[in-house]
Amino acid sequence: QVQLVESGGGLVKPGGSLRLSCAASGFTFSDYYMSWIRQAPGKGLEWVSYISSSGSTIYYADSVKGRFTISRDNAKNSLYLQMNSLRAEDTAVYYCASWRRGSYDYWGQGTLVTVSS
């Protein structure tokens, strides 16, 4: 069955960096567009970034543009999010999700990123 497993979250100081990973299994990862979506504590869902199946098309939310970089390694069935210049407002659970038929059809369990001094 489809599995998306995020890792790499943790506590980081403001201005610091963190790299999230998402390991995919149970489907042909290289055929799917993928995204990172986050949820601050007690808040709603916020879309962060999107990458096409080949990696040639990438979009970012304005709130992370210039600080976050999405990438993928289809040979390793993995999605990544490099997060630099982290701010307190980046504190959230980060989900990776697969995009198909105009929607996010599978989601990981999420990894918590806490930005605090």
Partner 1 sequence: QSVLTQPPSVSAAPGQKVTISCSGSSSNIGNNYVSWYQQLPGTAPKLLIYENNKRPSGIPDRFSGSKSGTSATLGITGLQTGDEADYYCGTWDSSLSALNWVFGGGTKLTVL
Stretch that binds partner 1, among 9-17, 69-77, 84-92, 101-109 (CB under 8 A): 101-109
Q: List CB contacts of 26: < 8 A, sequence separation 6 or more.
A: 1, 2, 3
Q: Which residues have CB under 8 Å from 82's CB, separation 6+?
A: 17, 19, 68, 69, 70, 71
Among 44, 66, 75, 117, binds partner 1 (CB under 8 A): 44
Place of tokens 């990123």: 113
* 61 part of the interface to partner 1, by CB under 8 A: yes
Single residue of 10, 73, 105, 116 touching partner 1 by CB under 8 A:
105
Tell which one of 16, 59, 73, 116 touches partner 1 (CB under 8 A): 59
Which amino acid appears at position 71 of this protein? S
* Total residues at interface with partner 1 (CB under 8 A): 21
Among 7-15, 18-26, 39-47, 78-86, which window interacts with partner 1 (CB under 8 A)?
Answer: 39-47
Q: Residue 2's Cα: distance from chain center in Å?
A: 17
d(CA 34, CA 73): 12
Contact residues for partner 1, defined by CB under 8 A = 35, 37, 44-47, 50, 59, 61-62, 95, 101-110
